[in-house]
Protein backbone atom coordinates (compact mmCIF):
# COMPACT_ATOMS: atom_id res chain seq x y z
CA UNK A 1 0.00 0.00 0.00
CA UNK A 2 1.12 3.54 -0.75
CA UNK A 3 2.10 5.02 2.68
CA UNK A 4 0.72 8.42 1.62
CA UNK A 5 -2.72 6.89 1.13
CA UNK A 6 -2.46 5.11 4.45
CA UNK A 7 -1.53 8.41 6.07
CA UNK A 8 -4.50 10.16 4.47
CA UNK A 9 -6.75 7.36 5.72
CA UNK A 10 -5.49 7.93 9.25
CA UNK A 11 -6.09 11.67 8.91
CA UNK A 12 -9.65 10.96 7.78
CA UNK A 13 -10.18 8.79 10.82
CA UNK A 14 -8.99 11.69 12.96
CA UNK A 15 -11.46 14.00 11.18
CA UNK A 16 -14.31 11.57 11.82
CA UNK A 17 -13.41 11.32 15.49
CA UNK A 18 -13.21 15.09 15.79
CA UNK A 19 -16.50 15.44 13.92
CA UNK A 20 -18.14 13.01 16.32
CA UNK A 21 -17.47 15.43 19.18
CA UNK A 22 -19.68 18.09 17.59
CA UNK A 23 -22.91 18.27 15.61
CA UNK A 24 -21.18 17.65 12.32
CA UNK A 25 -23.15 17.59 9.08
CA UNK A 26 -20.74 15.42 7.16
CA UNK A 27 -19.81 12.64 9.54
CA UNK A 28 -23.05 12.73 11.56
CA UNK A 29 -21.31 11.21 14.58
CA UNK A 30 -21.05 8.10 12.46
CA UNK A 31 -18.10 6.13 13.76
CA UNK A 32 -18.86 3.28 11.36
CA UNK A 33 -17.22 5.37 8.62
CA UNK A 34 -13.92 4.60 10.33
CA UNK A 35 -14.47 0.89 9.84
CA UNK A 36 -15.68 1.46 6.28
CA UNK A 37 -12.48 3.36 5.42
CA UNK A 38 -10.35 0.62 6.95
CA UNK A 39 -12.26 -1.96 4.89
CA UNK A 40 -11.90 0.00 1.66
CA UNK A 41 -8.11 0.00 2.05
CA UNK A 42 -7.97 -3.69 2.98
CA UNK A 43 -5.35 -5.74 1.11
CA UNK A 44 -8.11 -7.87 -0.47
CA UNK A 45 -9.47 -4.78 -2.19
CA UNK A 46 -6.05 -3.69 -3.39
CA UNK A 47 -5.34 -7.15 -4.78
CA UNK A 48 -8.73 -7.46 -6.49
CA UNK A 49 -8.66 -4.06 -8.08
CA UNK A 50 -5.02 -4.25 -9.15
CA UNK A 51 -5.88 -7.59 -10.77
CA UNK A 52 -8.55 -5.84 -12.81
CA UNK A 53 -6.18 -3.04 -13.84
CA UNK A 54 -3.50 -5.57 -14.84
CA UNK A 55 -5.87 -7.59 -17.01
CA UNK A 56 -7.74 -4.63 -18.46
CA UNK A 57 -4.52 -2.92 -19.51
CA UNK A 58 -3.64 -5.99 -21.61
CA UNK A 59 -6.89 -5.56 -23.52
CA UNK A 60 -7.64 -1.83 -23.60
CA UNK A 61 -5.18 0.94 -24.33
CA UNK A 62 -7.60 3.52 -25.72
CA UNK A 63 -7.99 7.11 -24.57
CA UNK A 64 -11.72 7.03 -23.91
CA UNK A 65 -13.75 7.52 -20.76
CA UNK A 66 -13.57 4.86 -18.07
CA UNK A 67 -16.61 4.80 -15.81
CA UNK A 68 -16.40 2.96 -12.49
CA UNK A 69 -19.84 2.05 -11.15
CA UNK A 70 -20.37 1.59 -7.41
CA UNK A 71 -16.76 2.60 -6.89
CA UNK A 72 -17.11 3.39 -3.16
CA UNK A 73 -14.24 5.63 -2.00
CA UNK A 74 -12.36 5.46 -5.31
CA UNK A 75 -9.58 2.93 -4.84
CA UNK A 76 -10.26 1.35 -8.23
CA UNK A 77 -10.25 4.69 -10.13
CA UNK A 78 -7.02 5.56 -8.32
CA UNK A 79 -5.36 2.31 -9.41
CA UNK A 80 -6.70 2.73 -12.95
CA UNK A 81 -5.09 6.17 -13.05
CA UNK A 82 -1.66 4.60 -12.53
CA UNK A 83 -2.08 2.84 -15.90
CA UNK A 84 -4.40 5.20 -17.73
CA UNK A 85 -2.76 8.63 -17.45
CA UNK A 86 -4.76 10.49 -20.10
CA UNK A 87 -8.23 8.98 -19.80
CA UNK A 88 -11.15 10.64 -18.11
CA UNK A 89 -11.92 8.41 -15.12
CA UNK A 90 -15.28 8.73 -13.42
CA UNK A 91 -16.11 7.26 -10.02
CA UNK A 92 -19.82 6.72 -9.42
CA UNK A 93 -21.50 5.88 -6.14
CA UNK A 94 -24.92 6.55 -4.66
CA UNK A 95 -23.55 7.38 -1.19
CA UNK A 96 -22.84 11.13 -0.96
CA UNK A 97 -20.01 10.71 1.52
CA UNK A 98 -17.94 8.60 -0.92
CA UNK A 99 -16.91 11.69 -2.90
CA UNK A 100 -15.79 13.52 0.23
CA UNK A 101 -13.67 10.61 1.44
CA UNK A 102 -12.46 9.73 -2.08
CA UNK A 103 -11.19 13.23 -2.73
CA UNK A 104 -9.33 13.15 0.60
CA UNK A 105 -7.77 9.75 -0.03
CA UNK A 106 -6.83 10.22 -3.68
CA UNK A 107 -6.45 13.98 -4.27
CA UNK A 108 -3.83 13.63 -7.02
CA UNK A 109 -5.50 10.94 -9.11
CA UNK A 110 -7.70 13.24 -11.17
CA UNK A 111 -10.81 11.24 -10.42
CA UNK A 112 -14.16 12.74 -11.30
CA UNK A 113 -16.40 11.68 -8.39
CA UNK A 114 -20.11 11.67 -9.12
CA UNK A 115 -22.95 10.86 -6.73
CA UNK A 116 -25.46 8.92 -8.80
CA UNK A 117 -27.37 5.68 -8.72
CA UNK A 118 -25.02 3.54 -10.79
CA UNK A 119 -27.77 1.38 -12.31
CA UNK A 120 -28.95 4.01 -14.81
CA UNK A 121 -27.59 3.04 -18.28
CA UNK A 122 -27.95 6.60 -19.57
CA UNK A 123 -25.02 7.64 -17.40
CA UNK A 124 -22.63 5.56 -19.47
CA UNK A 125 -23.56 6.46 -23.03
CA UNK A 126 -20.19 8.24 -23.49
CA UNK A 127 -18.15 5.57 -21.76
CA UNK A 128 -15.54 3.50 -23.57
CA UNK A 129 -15.15 1.17 -20.63
CA UNK A 130 -17.69 0.27 -17.96
CA UNK A 131 -16.02 -1.10 -14.84
CA UNK A 132 -17.70 -2.47 -11.74
CA UNK A 133 -16.00 -4.45 -8.98
CA UNK A 134 -19.07 -4.42 -6.73
CA UNK A 135 -21.47 -6.50 -8.80
CA UNK A 136 -22.31 -8.54 -5.68
CA UNK A 137 -23.98 -5.40 -4.25
CA UNK A 138 -26.14 -4.70 -7.31
CA UNK A 139 -29.27 -6.61 -8.24
CA UNK A 140 -28.68 -9.04 -11.08
CA UNK A 141 -31.53 -7.62 -13.11
CA UNK A 142 -29.91 -4.18 -12.99
CA UNK A 143 -26.53 -5.53 -14.13
CA UNK A 144 -27.99 -7.46 -17.06
CA UNK A 145 -30.12 -4.46 -17.99
CA UNK A 146 -27.01 -2.26 -18.07
CA UNK A 147 -25.12 -4.75 -20.22
CA UNK A 148 -28.05 -5.21 -22.58
CA UNK A 149 -28.69 -1.51 -23.06
CA UNK A 150 -25.06 -0.38 -23.25
CA UNK A 151 -24.16 -3.32 -25.46
CA UNK A 152 -26.38 -1.81 -28.12
CA UNK A 153 -24.50 1.49 -28.07
CA UNK A 154 -21.06 1.45 -29.70
CA UNK A 155 -18.24 -0.88 -28.89
CA UNK A 156 -18.15 -0.65 -25.12
CA UNK A 157 -15.93 -2.81 -22.99
CA UNK A 158 -17.15 -4.26 -19.69
CA UNK A 159 -14.87 -5.26 -16.82
CA UNK A 160 -16.86 -6.79 -13.97
CA UNK A 161 -16.07 -8.46 -10.66
CA UNK A 162 -18.28 -10.40 -8.28
CA UNK A 163 -17.64 -13.06 -5.64
CA UNK A 164 -19.07 -16.02 -3.72
CA UNK A 165 -19.13 -14.29 -0.31
CA UNK A 166 -22.82 -14.92 0.36
CA UNK A 167 -22.78 -14.27 4.12
CA UNK A 168 -22.88 -10.49 4.03
CA UNK A 169 -26.35 -8.96 3.98
CA UNK A 170 -25.30 -6.30 1.48
CA UNK A 171 -24.14 -9.02 -0.93
CA UNK A 172 -27.40 -9.54 -2.75
CA UNK A 173 -25.95 -10.83 -6.03
CA UNK A 174 -23.14 -13.28 -5.40
CA UNK A 175 -22.32 -16.08 -7.83
CA UNK A 176 -21.72 -19.73 -7.01
CA UNK A 177 -18.94 -20.00 -9.58
CA UNK A 178 -17.05 -18.15 -12.29
CA UNK A 179 -19.06 -19.99 -14.92
CA UNK A 180 -22.35 -18.86 -13.40
CA UNK A 181 -21.12 -15.28 -13.27
CA UNK A 182 -19.87 -15.35 -16.86
CA UNK A 183 -23.04 -16.96 -18.13
CA UNK A 184 -25.53 -14.44 -16.77
CA UNK A 185 -23.52 -11.44 -17.97
CA UNK A 186 -23.97 -12.74 -21.52
CA UNK A 187 -20.74 -11.02 -22.58
CA UNK A 188 -18.45 -12.04 -25.41
CA UNK A 189 -15.52 -13.02 -23.22
CA UNK A 190 -12.08 -11.49 -23.66
CA UNK A 191 -10.85 -12.53 -20.24
CA UNK A 192 -12.24 -14.49 -17.34
CA UNK A 193 -10.59 -15.60 -14.16
CA UNK A 194 -10.84 -16.07 -10.42
CA UNK A 195 -8.77 -14.94 -7.47
CA UNK A 196 -8.69 -16.97 -4.26
CA UNK A 197 -8.80 -14.54 -1.34
CA UNK A 198 -8.96 -17.09 1.46
CA UNK A 199 -12.48 -16.86 2.84
CA UNK A 200 -13.98 -16.35 -0.59
CA UNK A 201 -13.19 -16.25 -4.30
CA UNK A 202 -13.44 -13.20 -6.51
CA UNK A 203 -14.52 -13.63 -10.10
CA UNK A 204 -13.74 -11.36 -13.02
CA UNK A 205 -14.93 -11.13 -16.57
CA UNK A 206 -13.85 -8.67 -19.23
CA UNK A 207 -15.86 -8.67 -22.41
CA UNK A 208 -18.02 -6.90 -24.95
Partner 1 sequence: MNVIFVKWGTKYSADDVNRLYDSLYRPDFNFYCYTEQPSGLNYNINIIPIQSKPLLKVWWNKLPLFSENFPLTGKCIFFDLDVYIRYDPWYILNIVDWNKLTLVDCYFKTHVQDNKKHHFDVKVNSSVITWDANNREIHQIWNKFNSSSKDYYLRKYAGIDRFIVHEGFEYDTFPQDFVQSYKYTHNTNAPVVTFEEVDYGSDDIKSWIKADRTNI
Q: What residues make contact with partner 1 under the rule CB under 8 A?
A: 29-32, 36, 94-96, 115, 117, 137, 139, 141, 168-170, 172-173
> Closest Cα partner for 73 from 28, 119, 50, 42?
42
CB of residue 157 to partner 1, shortest distance in Å: 25
Minimum separation from the CB atom of position 193 to partner 1 (A): 26
| Minimum CB–partner distance for residue 139 and partner 1 (Å) | 5
Q: Which is nearer to partner 1, 87 or 185 (CB)?
A: 185
**Nearest to partner 1 of 42, 117 (CB atom):** 117
Going 65 to 162 to 70 to 138, the CA torsion angle's sign is positive
Nearer to partner 1, 5 or 97 (CB): 97
Shortest Cβ distance from residue 54 to partner 1 (Å)?
A: 27
191 phi, psi to nearest 5 deg? -155, 140
The C-alpha torsion from 189 through 121 and 104 to 4, rounded to 10°, is 10
Shortest CB 176 distance to partner 1, Å: 16
Smallest gap, in angstroms, from Cβ of residue 166 to partner 1?
Answer: 9
206 close to 158: Cβ distance less than 8 angstroms: yes
Which C-beta is closer to partner 1: that of 16 or that of 150?
Answer: 16
Report the half-sphere exposure of 140 (CA within 13 A, side-chain side).
12
- Residue 48 or 87: the one with the smaller Cβ distance to partner 1 is 48
Q: Which is nearer to partner 1, 59 or 115 (CB)?
A: 115
Amino acid sequence: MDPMILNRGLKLIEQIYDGSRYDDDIWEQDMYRIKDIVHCLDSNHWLSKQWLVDELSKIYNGKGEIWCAGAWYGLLPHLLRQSYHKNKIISLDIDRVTAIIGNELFPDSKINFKIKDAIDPKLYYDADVFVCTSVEHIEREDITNLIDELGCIGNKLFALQSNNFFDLHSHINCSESLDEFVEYTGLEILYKGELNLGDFTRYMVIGK
